[in-house]
Structure 1
Amino acid sequence: MSSQPPKTLDNQLPAISRFITDHDKEGKAVFSSRVEEELQWQELADGARFCLGFTTHKTPVDMSNGKDLSDYEQDMINKPGIMIPGGTVMRLVDMRPGSTSPMHRTVSLDYGVVLEGEVELVLDSGEVRLMRRGDTAVQRCTNHAWRNASQSKWARMLYVLQESEPVVVGGKVLDEDYGGIPGVRPSKP
């Protein structure tokens, strides 16, 4: 266990470590040294910061012989879209003070948890909910935006996404639409 004080990033949010468990040759639980514990952040053109915390490529996930770790290592080199067809994505996003994401839709079931700050979940109907630390959104393929409610402090969200079956509303199949989020590529080729 480390006795060093937690690191703070330049946006005054705490650095995050991710601890991945594994098994030794005797089958005992150990911490994996295969992937760095400190997360790697990427800044998008709009100033938001994304971090790909972990990914899987199928359900149920294949962890034998480190297959899931190999898949994640490849995703760190060649970043996937917002979600991975058949798999899962854990992502962290830091939002600049006062910023609002473009209105967007993923064809997935997403869990969004506020880790730091206050974030508004804005729906295309005009409905808004203020989310505080620990509040969780269950995003079900709806068109939405995220807004940092503070004009002076960064906010941080944790998202876990999994692909959904096509969603039909009013006889129309909904498709993903990233609303022009800079640096985001489609989830399906």
Structure 2
Amino acid sequence: MRTMITGVDGDGRSCVVSDGELTLDQLAPGFAMGIPFATATCPPPARTGGAAPLIDQGIAPGLVRWMVVELGAGSETPMHHTDTLDLQTVLSGSVELVLDDGAHQLDAGDLVVLAGVDHAWRAGPDGARLSAVLIGTPPPGNEP
């Protein structure tokens, strides 16, 4: 499984900070596990903020919402950022994650961590379905 983690560069622009295959460790016969991402604090670290408009998800820091998002064929969202740490899995179809450093193709089975950075979505020709776990984060400058 491909795992992409977003962040910001030295100029505060949204970008991919890590992009690689998830390694599963064999723990017992027939049982393997991998950890694509983990936080070390609760609530998660404060979001970075962004230049694009904020979409307020209404999730207090540390609270969680799990949702499924469906993007129609060829649909696009405007550039935005959220007040959450988003753990997303492409369930079906394909989608481009558009960051300040360009568009990144994601296909079924790919994982992405959106750390409250500026981003947009551009669905592929068959659309896309995503599973998204959103975790509320403190505003910029409010470290836990």
1:137 to 98, 103, 112: 112
Q: In structure 2, what is the equivalent of residue 165 of structure 1?
A: 138
Residue number among 77, 94, 98 corresponding to 1:122 in the alignment: 98
Aligned to 1:108: 84
**Separation (CA, whole Å) in 1 of partners of 2:58 and 2:112:** 17
Q: Per the alignment, in what secondary structure is the counterpart of residue 138 of structure 2? A: coil
Query: For the residues of structure 1 that align with 2:58 and 2:139, how far apart are their CA atoms?
Result: 14
Structure number with higher helix proportion: 1
Shift of residue 162 of structure 1? Answer: 0.6
**1:93 corresponds to 2:69:** yes
Between Structure 1 and Structure 2, the one with more strand by share is 2
8 Å Cα contact 1:107/1:167 also seen in 2: no
Aligned mates of 2:89, 2:115 — CA distance in 1: 14
TM-score by length of structure 2 reads 0.55
| Number of residue-to-residue matches in the alignment | 88
Q: Which of structures 1 and 2 has the larger relative contact order (alpha carbons within 8 angstroms, sep 6+)?
A: 2
Moved over 6 A (4+): none
Measured in 2, the distance between the counterparts of 1:154 and 1:100 equals 10
For 2:123 and 2:74, the matched residues in 1 are separated by 5
Give yes or no for the alignment of 1:149 onto 2:139: no
TM-score by length of 1: 0.43
Q: Percent identity?
A: 35
In our comparison, the structure showing a higher alpha carbon Rg is 1
Give the alignment's Cα RMSD to 1 decimal: 2.2
**Compared CA separation, residues 138 and 98, structure 1 to 2 (3 A):** same
For residues 140 and 106 of structure 1, the distance between their equivalents in structure 2, rounded to whole angstroms, comes to 9
Q: Which amino acid aligns with 1:127?
A: G
Secondary structure of the residue aligned to 1:100 is: coil
Partner amino acid for 2:59? I
Query: Unaligned regions of 5+ residues in structure 1, if any?
Result: 1-58, 61-80, 174-189
